[in-house]
């Protein structure tokens, strides 16, 4: 891909994303299957009937990611009060 095509492609994707996301509001989330740090598998279907706060972060033990995770941890009772579960997803 030419160097000039990459920025144009990224811009097109960024402009299209909000419209796509808006079309999904109120729709069931797509199914997923993820393995946790203990090797156990989790699917979205396991959490049917609950709110799911699914957040993504690039790497464990980095300052911004740790701050975000601590914020979820510190507010876990508020999530539990509305029958919500918090799931963090990292590539590492």
Per residue in 29-63, pLDDT (tens digit) is 788 888 888 999 999 899 888 888 888 887 777 77
Strands 84-90 and 51-57: parallel
Q: Which two tokens stand for residue 78?
A: 């508020």
- Residues 6 or more apart whose CB falls under 8 angstroms from that of 43 comprise 31, 32, 33, 34
- Flag whether the pTM goes above 0.85: no
* Active site positions, annotated: 65
- Does position 23 have pLDDT exceeding 80, yes or no? no
List, in order of start, the domains of the chain with CATH numbers: 29-90 (3.40.30.10)
Q: Which two tokens stand for residue 52?
A: 């799911």
Q: Which of 22-26, 31-35, 71-75 is most confident?
A: 71-75
Distance from C-alpha of 28 to C-alpha of 48, rounded to nearest angstrom? 10
CA atoms within 13 A on the CB side of 91: 4
Beta-bridge partners for 54: 87
């Amino acid at each position: 891909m030419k160097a000039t095509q990459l920025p144009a492609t990224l811009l097109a994707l960024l402009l299209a994303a909000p419209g796509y996301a808006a079309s999904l509001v109120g729709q069931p989330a797509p199914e997923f299957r993820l393995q946790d740090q203990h090797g156990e598998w989790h699917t979205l279907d396991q959490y049917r009937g609950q709110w799911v706060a699914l957040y993504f972060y690039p790497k464990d033990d980095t300052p911004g990611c740790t701050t975000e995770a601590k914020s979820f941890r510190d507010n876990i009772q508020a999530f539990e009060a509305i029958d919500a579960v918090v799931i963090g997803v990292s590539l590492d």
